Structure 1
Amino acid sequence: MTKLYLLWGILSISIILLMIILFRYRQAFQWLGYLCFNVALAAFLLYIVNLLEGYTQLEVPINPVTVGTISVLGIPGLLMLVALKLWIV
């Protein structure tokens, strides 16, 4: 029970420090905006790939790992996941 309170305390302090950093530096909002845009674009691209599953017989799951990979690597990351799906499965 004490461990649970300790974890919640660490989480609360981390959130407060993150908010202080975000409000102190205006560039942090730009960075956060770019991150949100990349995540939304990655999820949309995965949705399009899964929407075309009837034609391509290819399904790439939408989960945090695949969305994160495409967010960081972009279109080459999507192509890498498709190649891994075709090669391994």
Structure 2
Amino acid sequence: MILKYTIWGVLILSSLMLVLIVFRSRGASRLAASLGLNVVVAAFLLYVLSLLSTYTHIDLPINTVTLGTATVLGVPGVLLLIGVKMMLL
């Protein structure tokens, strides 16, 4: 029981220290904002593709793998996911 609280305490403390370190430097906060924007744009692209799936017959699930690929690679990442989906099915 004590080990469980110790692990949670260490997790919370290390998370707070990480947030403090990241937001102290200007470059890191700019990087975090850019990454956040990329995640939002990627989720929006996947959502629009999901809405248009009745017309295009391309169903891509919105999960961590597809969102991560679309976040890192952008629109070419979404096209890559579509190509992989078409090749596998």
| TM-score after normalising by structure 2 | 0.88
Identity %, equivalent residues: 45
**Distance in structure 2 (CA, Å) of the matches to 1:80 and 1:41:** 16
RMSD: 1.4
Aligned to 1:72: 72
Q: Structure 2: 5+ residue runs without aligned partners?
A: none
**Distance in structure 2 (CA, Å) of the matches to 1:55 and 1:74:** 22
Shift of 1:13: 1.9
**Distance in structure 1 (CA, Å) of the matches to 2:55 and 2:32:** 36
Aligned to 1:9: 9
Aligned to 1:62: 62
Displaced runs of 4+ in structure 1, greater than 6 A? none
Aligned to 2:50: 50
**Distance in structure 1 (CA, Å) of the matches to 2:78 and 2:7:** 35
**Paired residue secondary structure (1:59):** coil
Q: In structure 1, what residue type is equivalent to 2:29?
A: F
The superposition leaves residues 22-74 of structure 1 with CA deviations (integer Å, 9 ceiling, x where unpaired) of: 23212211111101100000000001111111111111001111111110011
**Distance in structure 2 (CA, Å) of the matches to 1:30 and 1:43:** 20
Q: In structure 1, what residue type is equivalent to 2:17?
A: L
Aligned to 2:38: 38
